[in-house]
């Protein structure tokens, strides 16, 4: 690990001041925020990330770590730990897809340390990105190429990719937020703003090193999940190579609003299959006004992967993803949901 400066601001104003200084630094500004640090420290040890300054936001956890629910929304402080949010009774009862996505992520030790905000910003697990001895990685070294194209790409994405990057977004919680139409509050040197969660992550296109629409110095403060008819009939299904502490080969977040057995509205997000948290809108449209049966669920799942672009080692993910989505839809439709 390379040497770095360390600061621990006691207020958000102080943290933003530190961020402004870093942004203004010459010749090459480099700072990173730390709350849980379960991704940051890992990548610093691997020499993938090399911040000159680490700004520890741990002192702000009480102020920005609250979990609250009212009649209009669930509000999740971005500094709340994953384990606490997963175990919250109101989250588990009214937003089960959120609780399940958090409980199925990482190990118990990591869930006790990692923050919600840091979780949605975690970097890809692509082996070429995480190993600097591979020179060709556009995400780590823009313009260098993508070693995964034509390389070992079993775990890589087949939705939302480009010829510049096929890395998979690795998280779980983000799919739940995306399916439930969450918003995210961002505080930065230029002020505070709220954006749809769907606008947080960027497709790789020609600039895979730019993974989000956060500006330098921006801090995620809160997630806002609207109360809606589909939140209770929701679930998260995760398919992985082993049953614990493993990233998804394919995952599905589903939320349904049913009129009897007929779908008023379906919300579907896919994980382990795409370069960003992926909303399967074609599958959603295929279900509206229909009853969920094995046949209609399969038709929706087929629509979700119509534009998939498999690589040399991951074509099996299309079949796996379809099966996972079909299963998740059938399970969600059969849930017993208290009024």
Cis? peptide before 94, omega within 30° of 0: no
> Does residue 51 surpass a pLDDT of 60?
yes
Report, as an integer, the average pLDDT of 140-162. 97
- Cα-based angle 243, 249, 254 (whole degrees, multiple of 5): 90
CA–CA separation, 235 and 331 (whole Å)? 8
In degrees and rounded to multiples of 5, residue 103 shows phi and psi of -65, -25
pLDDT the model gives residue 243: 86
Cα dist. 181→44, 184, 289 in Å?
Answer: 33, 10, 20
- On whether the CB atoms of residues 77 and 222 are closer than 8 A, the answer is yes
- Cβ-based neighbour number of residue 263 at 10 Å: 22
pLDDT the model gives residue 19: 83
- Cβ-based neighbour number of residue 107 at 10 Å: 13
Best CA proximity match to 161, nearest among 258, 299, 278, 302: 278
pLDDT the model gives residue 110: 93
As a whole-number percent, the residues of the chain with pLDDT over 90 amount to 90
Report, as an integer, the average pLDDT of 248-258. 98
pLDDT the model gives residue 29: 54
Indicate the SS3 state at residue 330.
helix
User: Using 50, 70 and 90 to split pLDDT, how confident is the model at 106?
Assistant: confident
CA–CA separation, 238 and 253 (whole Å)? 9
> Does residue 323 surpass a pLDDT of 60?
yes
Q: What is the DSSP string of 246-288?
A: ---SEEEEEEEEEETTEEEEEEEEEESSBSS-EE-HHHHHHHT
Q: Indicate the average pLDDT of the chain.
A: 95
User: Using 50, 70 and 90 to split pLDDT, how confident is the model at 244?
Assistant: confident
**Full-prediction pTM beyond 0.75?**
yes
- Listed range (84-88, 132-136, 186-190) with the worst mean pLDDT: 186-190
Q: What is the DSSP string of 91-148?
A: HHHH-HHHHHHHHTSS-HHHHHH-BHHHHHTPPP--TTTS-TT---BTTTSTTS-BTT
Contacts of 306 (CB under 8 A, 6+ apart): 282
pLDDT the model gives residue 179: 98
């Amino acid at each position: 690990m390379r040497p770095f400066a360390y600061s621990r601001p006691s207020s958000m104003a102080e943290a933003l001041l530190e961020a402004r200084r870093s942004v203004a630094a010459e010749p090459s500004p480099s700072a990173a925020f730390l709350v849980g640090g379960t991704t940051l420290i890992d990548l610093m040890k691997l020499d993938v990330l090399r911040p000159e300054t680490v700004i520890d936001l741990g002192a702000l956890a009480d102020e920005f770590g609250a979990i609250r629910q009212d009649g209009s929304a669930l509000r999740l402080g971005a500094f709340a730990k994953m384990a606490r949010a997963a175990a919250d009774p109101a989250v588990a009862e009214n937003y089960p897809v959120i609780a399940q996505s958090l409980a199925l992520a990482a190990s118990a030790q990591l869930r006790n340390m990692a923050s919600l905000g840091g979780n949605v910003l975690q970097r890809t697990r692509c082996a070429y990105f995480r190993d600097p001895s591979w020179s060709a990685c556009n995400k780590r070294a823009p313009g260098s190429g993508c070693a995964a194209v034509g390389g070992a790409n079993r775990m890589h994405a087949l939705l939302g990719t480009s010829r510049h990057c096929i890395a998979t977004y690795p998280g779980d919680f983000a799919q739940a937020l995306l399916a439930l139409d969450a918003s995210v509050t961002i505080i930065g040197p230029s002020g505070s703003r709220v954006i749809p969660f769907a606008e947080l992550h960027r497709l790789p296109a020609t600039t895979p090193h730019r993974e989000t629409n956060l500006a330098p110095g921006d801090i995620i403060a809160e997630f806002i999940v609207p109360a809606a008819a589909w939140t209770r009939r929701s679930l998260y299904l995760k398919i992985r190579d082993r049953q614990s502490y493993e990233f998804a080969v394919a995952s599905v977040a589903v939320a349904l609003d049913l009129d009897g057995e007929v779908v008023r509205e379906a919300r579907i997000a896919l994980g382990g299959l795409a370069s960003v948290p992926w909303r399967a809108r074609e599958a959603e449209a295929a279900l509206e006004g229909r009853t969920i049966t094995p046949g209609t669920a399969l038709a929706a799942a087929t629509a979700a992967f119509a534009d998939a672009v498999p690589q040399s080692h991951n074509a099996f993910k299309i079949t796996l993803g379809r099966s996972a989505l079909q299963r998740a839809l059938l399970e969600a439709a059969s849930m017993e949901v208290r009024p």
